[in-house]
Structure 1
Amino acid sequence: MVGMNILPHTADPDGDPRPQAPEPPGPDDCCHSGCAYCVDDLYQEALDRYREQLKAWLARHPDQA
């Protein structure tokens, strides 16, 4: 799906890479037709997952905050 690529994790020597934010959809990715699975909704879900993953990662790596 266009605009929904998750960027690769940054390399981390201890094997626990910092999560990377999802790429936002482009300005032309949404057709504004009221789709059941709009790219904007899917992006928001991916962003919510990223925030949870980042929160957990920061708890494991407090020196990286």
Structure 2
Amino acid sequence: MPDPDPPPRRPPEPDAADCCGEGCVRCVYDIYEEALERYQAELAAWQARHR
């Protein structure tokens, strides 16, 4: 039976080849940082539920 409340999964870090190096407003690294912040918040909430 699968875990009904599995821990969140860390977003994969972009590969250096994923960035074009042109200084895009929404660079893949910006998107990753936003996903990482969401992950950290979700992880903290999950850890609080599992204490």
The offset of 1:53, in angstroms, is 0.1
What are the Cα deviations for residues 13-53 of structure 1, in whole angstroms up to 9, with x where unaligned? xx111001000001100111011110000000000000000
**TM-score when scaled to structure 2?**
0.91
2:12 is the alignment partner of 1:20: no
Q: Which of 1 and 2 has higher RCO (CA within 8 Å, sep 6+)?
A: 2
Partner of 1:33: 22
Length, aligned pairs only: 50
Structure 1 Cα separation of the partners of residues 6 and 29 of structure 2 = 26
The offset of 1:54, in angstroms, is 0.1
Unaligned runs of 5+ in 2: none
CA RMSD of the aligned region, Å? 0.8
Secondary structure of the structure 1 residue equivalent to 2:48 = helix
Instruction: State the identity %.
Output: 52
**TM-score when scaled to structure 1?**
0.73
List structure 1 segments (4+ residues) > 4 angstroms apart after TM superposition: none
Structure 1 Cα separation of the partners of residues 6 and 41 of structure 2 = 14
